[in-house]
Amino acid sequence: MQPAVEFEVFTLFPEVFEPYLQTSILQRAQQHGLVAVHLYNIRDWTSDRHHITDDEPYGGGGGMVMKPEPIFAALESVLGAPPACPVILLSPQGRTFTQRIAQELAGEGFVDIYQPRRLALLCGRYEGIDERVCQYLVTDEISIGDYVISGGELAALVVIDAVTRLIPGALGDPDGASDDSHAMGLLEYPHYTRPAEFRGWGVPEVLLSGDHGKVARWRREQALQRTWQRRPDLLAKAPLSETDLKFLQKLRDKETPNS
């Protein structure tokens, strides 16, 4: 069986991917042939004596810029010229990565047609990449959020992880991924495990009651309450039942008794 998604990763630091890719879900998904990750060191496509991958910016200013030649050479030798697959640059200038983008990249919606997908991930380092790479090679730019990290490698791992979780079978449990996407609408309810008392701190009675209906209702209300307190923006998009809306109204009434 062909993998559902094949990641072709281009980086100056392939070694930082290894330990994470060899762990847990990602390791298992690769062993089962559900995904493949191939790592390429851009430095292997330099042709000068010192294997230089960066240079000073035209126009001056601080920092260094990744040279275009080794990047074009690496991607075109692996993917063909021009590449036939999406070339995703991990960059602070990209659209912010979301679960929806992960679904897009996983090819969700084509589950039955089962179209194997190849995705190239290009990781930047230094202050940036020569703009001609962005213009003539890259087809999509993704950021993982509004904060500064030192390069695209961690961001590429985030994308690989999120996309892999969506591939049927990757989580072992057949409805694990759909559980995830259900949970995306709201924050999760609190989890507890043994012991029932730890340092004098108990577990909510209802979870010990064995009443599955009551447990389900409690969890739903906890999820709603947390989302309302911490991420009210999510409530606007979440699919809510009549019962959910009544419960939320009760929370609002408690919070603002005088208005």
Q: Is 95 a catalytic residue?
A: no
Give the nearest residue (CB) to ligand 9D3.
Answer: 155
Contacting ligand 9D3 within 83-112 (CB under 6 A): 90-92
Both structure tokens of 240: 């809510």
Torsion-angle region of 119 (φ positive above 0: left; ψ -120 to 50: alpha; else: beta): beta
Q: Is 165 a catalytic residue?
A: yes
Q: Give whichever of 84 and 148 is closer to ligand 9D3, judged by the CB atom.
A: 148
The DSSP code sequence of the chain is ---SEEEEEEES-GGGTHHHHTSHHHHHHHHTTSEEEEEEEGGGG--STT---EEPPTT--SS-EE-HHHHHHHHHHHHTTTTSS-EEEEEEEEEEP-HHHHHHHTTTT-TTTT--EEEEEEE--TTEE-HHHHHHT-SEEEE--SS--SSSHHHHHHHHHHHHTTSTTTTSSTTHHHHHHHHHHSPPPP---S-S-BTTB---HHHHS--HHHHHHHHHHHHHHHHHHH-HHHHTTS---HHHHHHHHHHHHHH-TT-
Q: Give whichever of 153 and 224 is closer to ligand 9D3, judged by the CB atom.
A: 153
- Residue 38: CB atoms within 10 A of its CB come to 13
Closest approach, Cβ 147 to ligand 9D3, in A, equals: 6
Which is the catalytic residue, given 69, 141, 180, 188? 180
Closest approach, Cβ 240 to ligand 9D3, in A, equals: 32
Q: Is 100 a catalytic residue?
A: no
Q: Give whichever of 121 and 177 is closer to ligand 9D3, judged by the CB atom.
A: 121
Closest approach, Cβ 33 to ligand 9D3, in A, equals: 28
Q: Give whichever of 56 and 127 is closer to ligand 9D3, judged by the CB atom.
A: 127
Which is the catalytic residue, given 15, 44, 55, 127? 127
Residues that bind ligand 9D3 (rule: CB under 6 A) add up to a total of: 16
Q: Is 69 a catalytic residue?
A: no
Q: What is the phi/psi pair of residue 15, to 5°? A: -65, -25
Closest approach, Cβ 88 to ligand 9D3, in A, equals: 10
- Residue 178: CB atoms within 10 A of its CB come to 13
Closest approach, Cβ 122 to ligand 9D3, in A, equals: 10
Would you give the binding string for ligand 9D3 spanning residues 124-163, x where CB under 6 A is met?
Answer: x--xx--------------xxx-xxxxxx--x--------
Closest approach, Cβ 236 to ligand 9D3, in A, equals: 25
Contacting ligand 9D3 within 13-72 (CB under 6 A): none
Kindly list the catalytic residues.
92, 127, 165, 180
Chain residues that interact with ligand 9D3, rule: CB under 6 A: 90-92, 124, 127-128, 143-145, 147-152, 155
